Every structure is written in structure tokens, then in C-alpha cells.
Amino acid sequence: MNKIELPNYFTQNNQVPDVYVHSFSSEAHSDKSKVQLNANLISFLTEGSKELYYENDSKIVTNKDFVIAKSGNCLMSENLSEDKKYASLLFFFSDSFITHFKEKYHIENITKQSNPEMESKFKIFSYDAFISNFVNSLQQLIQSEISLTEDFFTLKLEEILFYLTQKKGSEIISFLDNTTLLKHHIRLKNIVENNIFSKLTLEELAFLSHMSLSTFKREFKKLYGSSPSKWIQEKRLEKSAEMLRNKKERPIDVYASIGYESLSSFTQSFKHKFGITPKQYQLQKMNL
């Protein structure tokens, strides 16, 4: 899996302006691409849907939503619409833009006590009439023969952010201006424990942790005293046994919800740990 640096991938240049806008479209599905965001992002989805995986959260974004995301590493899947299309309007902007925006419009950060381990790296909002018109009109301008400058896009970004602060309050800007840095072992713990039951690979977990795979494994062993594969499998099997005991769910319903790719691999792992199959285990516990 290749890593994509954004917005550099679109600009073909290491020099990225403070504000950069790109109208993106594709007719190919993309599954969990590694994305290194070198700028903050507002993504207005217009066709298809996307799934985002950040440090401590994952969400599906539809074409009725837009997402505001902080710079950093994430995994992104792009799913095509019924018309086999995916499209979004992307606003990339630097931290210095946010600083200037706050000063220009005299916006104060909202100060509140929060746990940095639980802070999300992105927020999802639904379209309203103004946002829909804003996106449609800007796409029409981009598709026209008019030459649009960075100053123009800066003005449009200020417009949409100012609208959002009027509607949602200044927490939008406080969210973007929050530069809390997590220590690497806190970030690793955060990512691992929020994705125990996902289908992310160790390589993908390492990427979200801003580590190479070898460093991730080494730091994981220091933190948990076990290899990541063994530790995650133990947690998944413990959860599956709990579900089979308490929720009376069928094994075929359990395996996918705890991160296994197939029923056969789940059954094999379960039998290796407990000595019997998931179905036998469930029947045994029901008869006690």
C-alpha cells in the first residue's frame, strides 16, 4: 500500500500555499489508502462515500456530509456511488491560515478541559442549503474558463469558516487551533485500543501511530509485554467468548464484529484457545 501525501500529490510540488483548493473525482474504488495530510482539510463530498480512520476514531462520510480534518496520518477508503463515481471538493489550509483568520475576525478559542487521548482529529457535519449552494457555485466556477487565484480561494475559505463559526460557534476554530501533541506511547495505546475489533492490519496501525512497522512492534512490546498479533488476538477471542455467553449471538455473526476476515479463521483460533469450537462453547455455557 502506497502512501499519498496531500495536497502535495495534487500540486506536484513540495511548496504548498496556505490555501489550496482541488476538485477531485474518480471512477475507481480505493480501499484504506495511507494518507499523510500535510495541511488541514475540509472535504465536501458530492458523489459516493468515504470511510476515515484516524488515531482514535473511524467514521463513514456520505455525500450528505462534509468533514473537517486536522493534519496528520489517516487511512481513507473511497466508495463509488450507484453511478460509479466518487467526487469531492477539497479545501487544504495551513495552521498559519487559522492563526491569521482568528486575528482578522477577533475569534477567541474556547478553553475547556479535555482528555488529549480522547480528542478526535476530525468532525463531520451535514449539508444545509447554504453549504450546498456554496459547493455547487464554487464547482461551477472551477469548471469554467475563469482563472481563479489563491486570494479568491482564501476569501471563499474565510467565507465558509466564518459561516460555520456563526452557526456552530467558535469551537470549530478552537478544534482546528488545538495543537495538542501526544507522546508516542499514548498515541500507540490510543490507536490500538480503539481498533482492537477493526480489520486494520498491523502495518495500518503503525502508520496511524506515525511509526514504521518495526518500531511499532518494538514499542508495543514495551507497552503490553506481548507481540501485537498475539495481544490483539487474545482480546478478540475474549470478547467473542463474552458475546457467545451473554448475547447468545451466532458464531457467524460474531467473527466479523471482532475483526476476523472469515468464520473458518475465527473458529480455528477459538478452538486453539478454548479447546472447542465457538458453537460447542456456546451450547456448553447455555446448558450450565
What pLDDT is attached to residue 45?
A: 96
Which amino acid is residue 139, in one-letter code? Q
CATH number for the domain formed by residue range(s) 184-286 = 1.10.10.60
Give the tens place of pLDDT for each residue, 267-286: 999 999 999 999 999 988 87
**Which of 14, 18, 78 is CA-nearest to residue 48?**
78
What pLDDT is attached to residue 249?
A: 84
| pLDDT greater than 90 at residue 57 | no
What pLDDT is attached to residue 284?
A: 87
Domains of the chain by residue range: 3-177, 184-286
Please, which pLDDT band fits residue 17 given cuts at 50, 70 and 90?
confident
CA dist 201 and 276 (Å) reads 27
Give the tens place of pLDDT for each residue, 93-102: 999 999 999 9
Fold (topology level) of 3-177: Jelly Rolls (2.60.120)
What pLDDT is attached to residue 179?
A: 58
**Which of 84, 178, 203, 184 is CA-nearest to residue 123?**
178
SS (H, E, C) the chain: CCEEEECHHHHCCCCCCCEEEEEEEECCCEEEEEEEECCEEEEEEEECEEEEECCCCEEEECCCEEEEECCEEEEEEEECCCCCCEEEEEEEECHHHHHHHHHHHCCCCCCCCCCCCCCCCEEEEECCHHHHHHHHHHHHHHHCCCCCCHHHHHHHHHHHHHHHHHHHCCHHHHHHHCCCCCCHHHHHHHHHHHCCCCCCCHHHHHHHCCCCHHHHHHHHHHHHCCCHHHHHHHHHHHHHHHHHHHCCCCHHHHHHHCCCCCHHHHHHHHHHHHCCCHHHHHHHHHCC
What pLDDT is attached to residue 180?
A: 56
| pLDDT greater than 80 at residue 110 | no
Once rounded to an integer, what is the mean pLDDT over residues 73-88? 95
Once rounded to an integer, what is the mean pLDDT over residues 116-130? 82
pTM value surpassing 0.85: no
CA dist 220 and 125 (Å) reads 35
Count of C-beta atoms within a 10 Å radius of residue 3? 11
What pLDDT is attached to residue 246?
A: 82
What pLDDT is attached to residue 217?
A: 95
Give the tens place of pLDDT for each residue, 19-39: 999 999 999 999 889 999 999
Q: pLDDT over 70 for what percent of the chain?
A: 93
User: To 10 degrees, what angle do helices 150-168 and 95-105 make?
Assistant: 60
Cell numbers at 69, concatenated = 480534518
| pLDDT greater than 90 at residue 288 | no
